[in-house]
């Protein structure tokens, strides 16, 4: 009886953590649906750019609530778009990437001596969050634009440039409001306690984590450059009628047309580049143990090991 009693609190804490994450997901979904319903009023159009509050909300979800809130917010937005008759699968995937990368990056690349994002001075917080959001927005842009290109909806370039700009501006504004406004209404200690209470336990703002940030930024930037170069090159070549290329003895350039071996807009090259760089990023994340669900599995294994030791 004693052994079972000793292990019960540990198992109960695991279930409490899972319930907490489920609630965070539900809250994120409800908030995202509510914000999306008034998007027509809150969005700002500047030329081809549309600055909306939804990317900012998803970034704030990653800032405060962690992966569960990000996933909930993204699913809420996708459900809203499906109900309104405009499924936005790749846009939702981009928002998911934005929130998860904001969560991973902001919590890790900052000064090790503070050991917590909210213990850093305000200017340091602002700088760390701006850099994290910038990298996360680039990641969201390349992933969603890659999906648009593969689906034949939009070209990778200039879509990736527009999406990165929109997401970064929205996330910086809304995330900045949270970082600046909330501490003015509650004490700094209370604010930290609120975030710690709902955020998953983190284990590392270390030197290796900073290396992972550099690797992540390099991979995403390379994806943006390569994807844009491929997309731009095919768009330029396809503007020239094929008979003009043959007339000028430029037949080799016909391989870059829609009827060429690389397909419309170089889709085969885009698939090759995207899958290769995405695989490299996943491997780098596993190398430094920074994927959130990997840590969850490690924690569950630790709980099981602890229970077996008590039972023995």
Please check whether residue 102 is in contact with residue 132, taking contact to mean a CB–CB distance below 8 angstroms. yes
- pLDDT at position 70 is 92
pLDDT digits 0-9 by tens, 58-92: 988 887 788 888 999 999 999 999 999 888 999 99
Which positions of the chain have pLDDT values less than 70? 1-18, 107-122, 183, 185-209, 239-265, 289-312
Going from N- to C-terminal start, the domains of the chain cover 2-311
- pLDDT at position 98 is 95
DSSP state of 288: T
pTM above 0.95, yes or no: no
- pLDDT at position 107 is 66
Task: Describe the crossing of helices 67-83 and 2-37 by its angle, rounded to 10 degrees.
Answer: 40
Please check whether residue 154 is in contact with residue 148, taking contact to mean a CB–CB distance below 8 angstroms. yes
- pLDDT at position 9 is 46
- Residue 142's φ and ψ, nearest 5 degrees, are -70, -35
pLDDT digits 0-9 by tens, 182-201: 767 666 666 666 666 655 55
Long-range contacts of 276-285 (CB under 8 A, 24+ apart): 277/219, 277/222, 277/223, 277/226, 278/143, 280/219, 281/215, 281/216, 281/219, 281/220, 284/212, 284/215, 284/216, 284/219, 285/212, 285/216
């Amino acid at each position: 009886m004693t052994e079972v009693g000793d292990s019960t609190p540990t198992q109960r804490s695991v279930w409490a953590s899972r319930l907490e994450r489920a609630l965070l997901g539900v809250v994120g979904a409800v908030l995202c649906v509510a914000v999306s319903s008034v998007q027509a009023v809150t969005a700002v159009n500047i030329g081809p750019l549309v600055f909306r509050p939804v990317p900012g909300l998803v970034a704030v979800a990653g800032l405060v609530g962690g992966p569960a809130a990000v996933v909930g917010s993204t699913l809420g937005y996708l459900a809203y778009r499906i109900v309104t008759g405009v499924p936005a699968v790749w846009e939702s995937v981009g928002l998911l990437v934005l929130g998860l990368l904001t969560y991973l990056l902001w919590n890790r690349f900052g000064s090790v001596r503070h050991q917590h994002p909210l213990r850093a001075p305000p200017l340091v917080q602002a700088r760390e969050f701006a850099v994290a959001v910038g990298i996360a927005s680039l990641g969201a842009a390349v992933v969603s634009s890659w999906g648009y290109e593969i689906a034949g909806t939009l070209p990778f370039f200039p879509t990736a440039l527009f999406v990165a700009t929109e997401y970064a501006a929205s996330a910086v504004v809304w995330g900045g409001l949270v970082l600046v406004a909330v501490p003015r209404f509650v004490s700094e200690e209370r604010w930290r306690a609120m975030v710690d209470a709902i955020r998953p336990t983190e284990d590392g703002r270390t030197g290796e984590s900073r290396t992972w940030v550099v690797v992540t930024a390099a991979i995403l930037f390379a994806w943006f450059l390569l994807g844009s170069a491929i997309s731009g090159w095919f768009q330029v070549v396809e503007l020239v009628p094929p008979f003009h290329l043959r007339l000028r003895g430029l037949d080799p350039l016909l391989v870059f047309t829609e009827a060429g071996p690389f397909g419309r807009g170089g889709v085969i090259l885009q698939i090759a580049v995207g899958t290769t760089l995405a695989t490299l990023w996943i491997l780098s994340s596993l190398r430094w143990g920074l994927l959130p669900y990997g840590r969850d599995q490690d924690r569950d294994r630790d709980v099981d090991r602890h229970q077996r030791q008590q039972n023995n």
